Chains A and B, each alone.
Chain A
Amino acid sequence: MRPTFLGFEAAKTAIFTNQKALDIVGNNLANVNTAGYTRQRVERSSIAPIYSSKVASNRVGMTGQGVKALGVSQLRDSFLDKCFRDEYAKASYHAQATDILTAIQSAITDGNDLTSYSGIQGAIENLVSSLNDFINEPTLDSSANIVMSAFKNICQVLNELDEKLTVVAEQQIDDLKTTVSRVNEIAASIAHLNETIAKDAAALGGTNEHFKPNELLDERNLLLDELAGYGDIKVTQLSDGTVSVEFGGHRIVSGNKSDSLAVHVTDEKLVSVYWRSTGDKVQLNGGSVWADINFINGRGSNVQSGDESTVQGIPYYRDRLDSLANALATLANSAIPEYDPATDSPKLDANGKIVYKTLLAPSQYSDTSGRITAGNISLSVEWTQTGPGYFIYNRNEAVEDYAQKLASALVDTRFTFQSYGETFTGTFAEFNVELLGRLGADITYHKGRHEATASVADDFLDRRDEISGVSQDEETADMIMYQKSYEAAARLMTVLDEMLDILINRMGRVGL
């Protein structure tokens, strides 16, 4: 036997459920362009009569109770999330590497514009040309003055390049500090979200797989996506709804607790990023923070301490410029001997070795005790105080050999450039070309890798969107369906009402 008013239940639940479904369609359409939004869907199931009662049941009578809305779920694939985040970490690493190397390239004038005359190549050419002018008139102050200007020029170029590299290092360090604070913020936010999501799950009395705090989940996933760009992460879903996140193998978020990173900068402009909780250095495998650390600390094959990385970064190129400056000074300071009028030949010291004039020395405004570097190379005090004529070996005799030796070493003869770990043999011009070639090749490599990995990451984004993205066409079609279903339910209610009207008002009354 059928309960009299049962039909109304089916119509009523249908109306409620379709109203809710339309609400969700509206929500999806409203959020079609929201970043990180996952499309939502009302989960329904048909209301079943009780099937397993031991007492005799009124199976036929109770069937047809309508539809039940179980909850609003979101459609998302966590495997695709993981794939995307892994690839994004790699792509971010190469993007950041390209950025830093391009900044270094801009600082080194020749790399930025191969036709420039204001870089090292131009300075070397200027020096060679002025030395040859001097060779034609090796006893004149005016030609010695041209050589002095050319040496001053190359010193200034080296000083300038060193300064520009320092600026690049400082900018990248500032960027890194900003990024690290962002990482800390994200970790704290995820921990906070974890707490809220866990409380919500507890309030529901256990997890309801059909109804989760979708907006909070979306927010958390968006933060995780961003975090993946900074370093390689590993996300583990726990049963209480929280996630545990590892950043570079170290647990950064666990439940409602988060760890944070700190940046320490040394005097030599090296950085170390470490965990505040343990003091250990962060060990990443990808991401822009890793690229920053590697390239800010990158000394290539000249690595001197454990803080430095073996990548060819800012300190490596600074070392190269320093080698060049050092080599130039060594060459210049063993080129022009002091003239001894008594013997009409170079002056000899107590050990019988030739005494050479000091042409280049560390600038008097810097620490003059150390090695000559690109940052402090300058004309020697003797040269500036004596005047351009200091360069002349003997005013009475045209001796051009020493100047010729200098000119040849710049473009013709091989010289050995010694850095901390690296040795290069070649002319000064070749040294410069090799430096630029290395930088160019590195940039090209990282750019290529970035393009490849970014394209794979984009592909994963597309596949993720295939599942989680909102399609306006689909929502519109669903909307029509829900509307029709609503109308049908309303119609059903009208029919039931008419049926009941006959039963209640007309049954048993004859002749009316």
Chain B
Amino acid sequence: MRVVDRSTARNFMKYLNTARSNYAETNKRIASGNRFEKISEDVVAGTKVMRLRTNLCKAETQLDNIKSAQEELRAAETAMTSINDVLTSAYAEKIVAALSEEKGELGRIAIADELKSMLNQILQYANTKHSTRFIFGGSNSSYTAPFSLDSNGKLLYNGIDVDLIQQDSDGSYYYMNAGVKTKINLDTDVFIDVGLGIKLKGSSIDPNTGFKVSFSGLELLGFGKNDDGLSNNLYNVLSEIEYCIRNYDGEKLNKLQTHFRTLCDSYRTNLTNIGAKSNLLDTMEERLKNSIDGYKTHINTLMGINDAEEVMNQSMNEYVLKAVIQMGSKILPITLMDFLR
């Protein structure tokens, strides 16, 4: 086989170019810290990285949502606890005191006045706003507070008398308006995505897949009437108690007191519910933080370089490059001509 200068030179240049580009490639990898940047350099790993990016984005968004939900819960808990304190004070001290004969009329009127101011406090706490939404107003984000009083001092929720409100089997509230079943306005549930696999049922969110951050005031303070015709609403009951104390209707007062105690007990379940919700959020937060770490690590594994391996590749490539150049300097210029006299 004839060895020809032209093909020796051409092949040498090919090897040299390959060695150079490998060396440059290694340097680029070490400088950028990434094994590849373009999708064509590693298609399989690249598509995995893109999918992981999407998952990472979802998880980080969900984590942000959890943080704002936790703030809302804290605000709700504060308001609920304040109401609870008022209710406890009303029941344990004022009503009991009023029932005992010692107070006398002036004493009872004084207690009635105190109860009136407590009612005011309950109303204010119930109308707490967190950012743009009323905490206990369902989806109410308007400028009108959810709880107000009618001319008789009875509680209205979003303009409807709470005693008239009933609950449907699917959990939504309604009242009968001239024989027509009408939904309570501004009282839909608000859900956010905290990583429970949020899905839509029709055009609204499936309640099992989202985290509810709204509270209906009706859940909180009660609604409708019980079998004895007494209001189930804490405010209305307390309001009646205040009226009874002021006008000393002892028999009714006894019935109301018992009923009020039952309502107060069931009110406290709200606080335990908040506790449970808060725990759920903490668990989800922990899980999401782990997921986020996991995704970031996985992306790094796919895209990042193994430092030790890459540095070793770099010295290998450098060695190869030098060897090729040296070899070229030995074989290219030497011909028979150099050895003739």
Which chain A residues have a beta carbon within 8 Å of chain B's beta carbons? 32-33, 101-102, 105, 110-115, 121, 124-125, 128-129, 132-133, 135-140, 344, 395-402, 404-405, 407-408, 411-413, 427, 429-430, 432-433, 436-437, 439-441, 443-444, 447, 458, 461-462, 465-467, 469-474, 476-477, 480
Is B2's CB under 8 angstroms from A474's CB?
A: yes
Task: List 8 additional A-B contacts (Cβ < 8 Å) besides A401-B205, A405-B200.
Answer: A111-B40, A135-B192, A408-B200, A433-B54, A462-B11, A465-B10, A472-B335, A476-B336
Nearest to B144 among chain A residues (CB) is A396
Which residues, 126 to 174 on B, are CB-close (under 8 Å) to A? 131-133, 139-144
The minimal Cβ–Cβ distance linking B186 to chain A, given in whole angstroms, is 5
Query: Residue-by-residue, is B1-39 near A (CB-CB < 8 Å gives 1, otherwise 0)?
Result: 111111101110010000000000000000000101111
Complex formed: what's the CA distance from A101 to B200 in Å?
40
Q: Which residues of B contact A135 (CB under 8 A)?
A: 65, 192-193
Nearest to B2 among chain A residues (CB) is A466
Which residues, 34 to 59 on B, are CB-close (under 8 Å) to A? 34, 36-40, 43, 46-47, 49-51, 53-54, 57-58
Is A471's CB under 8 angstroms from B192's CB?
A: no
Is B6's CB under 8 angstroms from A397's CB?
A: no
Is A136's CB under 8 angstroms from B192's CB?
A: yes
| Residue B68 is within 8 A (CB to CB) of chain A in the complex | yes
Which residues, 172 to 198 on B, are CB-close (under 8 Å) to A? 185-186, 188, 190-193, 198
Q: Report how many residues on chain B are interfacial, defined by Cβ distance under 8 Å.
A: 61
Which chain B residues have a beta carbon within 8 Å of chain A's beta carbons? 1-7, 9-11, 14, 34, 36-40, 43, 46-47, 49-51, 53-54, 57-58, 60-61, 64-65, 68, 131-133, 139-144, 185-186, 188, 190-193, 198-200, 203-205, 210, 214, 303, 335-337, 340
Is B139's CB under 8 angstroms from A398's CB?
A: yes
Is A125's CB under 8 angstroms from B64's CB?
A: no
Q: Which residues of A contact B191 (CB under 8 A)?
A: 400, 404
Q: Which residues of A contact B51 (CB under 8 A)?
A: 429-430, 433
Is A432's CB under 8 angstroms from B50's CB?
A: yes
Q: Which residues of A contact B193 (CB under 8 A)?
A: 132, 135, 404, 407
Given A413-B200, A440-B43, do A132 and B139 touch, yes or no (CB 8 Å)? Answer: no
Is A128's CB under 8 angstroms from B58's CB?
A: yes
Is B6's CB under 8 angstroms from A437's CB?
A: no
Is B38's CB under 8 angstroms from A462's CB?
A: no
Nearest to B9 among chain A residues (CB) is A33
Is B57's CB under 8 angstroms from A397's CB?
A: no
Nearest to B45 among chain A residues (CB) is A114
Q: Which residues of A contact B141 (CB under 8 A)?
A: 138-139, 395-398
Is B46's CB under 8 angstroms from A400's CB?
A: no
Q: Which residues of B contact A129 (CB under 8 A)?
A: 57, 60-61, 64
Report which of B43, B58, B214 forms a contact with A411, defined as CB distance below 8 A.
Answer: B58
Is A132's CB under 8 angstroms from B6's CB?
A: no
Report which of B50, B192, B205 forms a contact with A436, defined as CB distance below 8 A.
Answer: B50
Looking at B40, B50, B210, the one whose CB has the most chain A CB atoms below 10 A away is: B40
Is B40's CB under 8 angstroms from A102's CB?
A: yes
The minimal Cβ–Cβ distance linking B98 to chain A, given in whole angstroms, is 41
Is B336's CB under 8 angstroms from A472's CB?
A: yes
Q: Which residues of A contact B143 (CB under 8 A)?
A: 396
Nearest to A402 among chain B residues (CB) is B203
Report which of B4, B140, B190 forms a contact with A400, defined as CB distance below 8 A.
Answer: B190
Report which of B6, B47, B190 forms a contact with A470, defined as CB distance below 8 A.
Answer: B6
The minimal Cβ–Cβ distance linking B216 to chain A, given in whole angstroms, is 13
Complex formed: what's the CA distance from A52 to B184 in Å?
129
Complex formed: what's the CA distance from A471 to B6 in Å?
8
Complex formed: what's the CA distance from A412 to B197 in Å?
9
Q: Sample 22 A-B pairs with CB under 8 A, ordered by A number.
A: A113-B37, A114-B38, A121-B50, A121-B54, A124-B54, A128-B57, A128-B61, A129-B60, A132-B61, A401-B205, A404-B205, A407-B193, A412-B58, A433-B51, A437-B43, A439-B39, A443-B40, A458-B11, A462-B7, A469-B4, A471-B5, A476-B337
The minimal Cβ–Cβ distance linking A345 to chain B, given in whole angstroms, is 10
The 7 nearest A-B residue pairs measured at CB: A469-B4, A396-B142, A443-B40, A440-B43, A440-B39, A476-B336, A472-B335
Looking at A400, A471, A474, the one whose CB has the most chain B CB atoms below 10 A away is: A400
